[in-house]
């Protein structure tokens, strides 16, 4: 029997990147998966590639009514809910970060940051997790299950160039711990994963910004800049992948992790050891 056979999962922001990696691994382990994403067409396309029955739904996860209705529709289609993965966050839309000044994109020093950029980062990365948790809980309380929140290694270290993003992801870890304690009596386990360096749309945008602003990267492509950062910044010397995150997410959702809750686990090749 596969570890997640008979389980149902909702993954926000699952059309591509980390979310798609989580969906692929969970489906391979037997789960039926619903993908919620701003890009409903790509969500459906990704769901169609999975080896178990699934669906893709268009949804802006920071809009309360949209998320509530999408969760309800997914639960109705899949026949219940066992696993909620709050993955949607920065990079959730087709924003070209390379074309924006750092402060407007949610980076840069606090004193230079536009308050609207701060608010947007908190909405994308913390409000989205709060709403996903809020609307999954009534279903999870019926039979227990797992909530997996995607945080970041930025939440575990000082991140002076990404203060809003780091603060939001630190909030995700705090929310994870609070919910783990509050809902333990319902046999709901809540954990967070802190990914390291993955080649996603968000990292592509950051690398393009670095290409414009860091002289030593001026002659490199965004992908080469990313690989240079990996080489110098990751003790194990290799990038992390969406499937790496998916393997841990699937484990945390499985019976093998039945006594693990309230944890924030880094999948970072050792970055946070320095």
| Active site amino acids | 165
Six-digit token string for 7: 């389980």
Q: What is the CB-side half-sphere exposure of residue 104 using CA atoms within 13 A?
A: 8
Helix (H, G, I), strand (E, B) or coil at 191: strand
How remote is the C-alpha of 44 from its chain's centroid?
18
CA distance 58 to 41: 7
- Asked if 159 and 117 touch (Cβ cutoff 8 Å), the reply is no
Residues 6+ apart with CB under 8 A from 119: none
Residue 37, token pair as written in the block:
């994403």
Q: How far apart are the first and last CA of the chain?
A: 40
Residue recorded with tokens 């080896």: 51
227 and 213 in contact (C-beta within 8 Å)? Answer: no
The helix (run of H) or strand (run of E) holding residue 36 is: strand 32-37
CA angle 238, 244, 248 (to 5 degrees): 140
């Amino acid at each position: 029997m596969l570890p997640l056979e008979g389980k149902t999962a909702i993954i926000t922001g699952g059309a591509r990147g980390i979310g798609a990696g989580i969906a692929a691994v969970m489906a391979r382990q037997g789960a039926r998966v619903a993908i919620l994403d701003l890009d409903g067409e790509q969500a459906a396309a990704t769901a169609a590639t999975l080896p178990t029955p699934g669906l893709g739904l268009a949804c802006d996860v920071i809009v309360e009514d949209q998320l509530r209705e999408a969760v309800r529709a997914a639960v109705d289609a899949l026949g219940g809910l066992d696993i909620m993965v709050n993955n949607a966050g920065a990079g959730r839309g087709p924003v070209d970060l390379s074309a924006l000044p750092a402060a407007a994109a949610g980076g840069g020093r606090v004193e230079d940051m536009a308050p609207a950029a701060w608010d947007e980062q908190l909405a994308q990365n913390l409000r989205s997790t709060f709403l996903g948790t809020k609307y999954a809980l009534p279903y999870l309380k019926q039979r227990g299950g797992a909530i997996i929140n995607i945080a970041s290694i930025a939440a575990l270290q000082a991140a002076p160039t990404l203060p809003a993003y780091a603060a939001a992801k630190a909030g995700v870890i705090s929310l994870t711990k609070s919910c783990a304690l509050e809902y333990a009596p319902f046999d709901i386990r809540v954990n967070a994963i802190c990914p390291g360096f993955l080649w996603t749309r968000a990292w592509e945008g950051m690398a393009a910004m670095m290409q414009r602003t860091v002289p030593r990267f001026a002659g490199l492509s965004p992908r080469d800049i990313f690989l240079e950062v990996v080489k110098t910044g990751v003790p194990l010397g290799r990038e992390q992948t969406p499937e790496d995150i998916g393997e841990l997410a699937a484990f945390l959702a499985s019976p093998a992790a039945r006594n693990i809750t309230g944890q924030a686990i880094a999948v970072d090749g050792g970055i946070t050891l320095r």
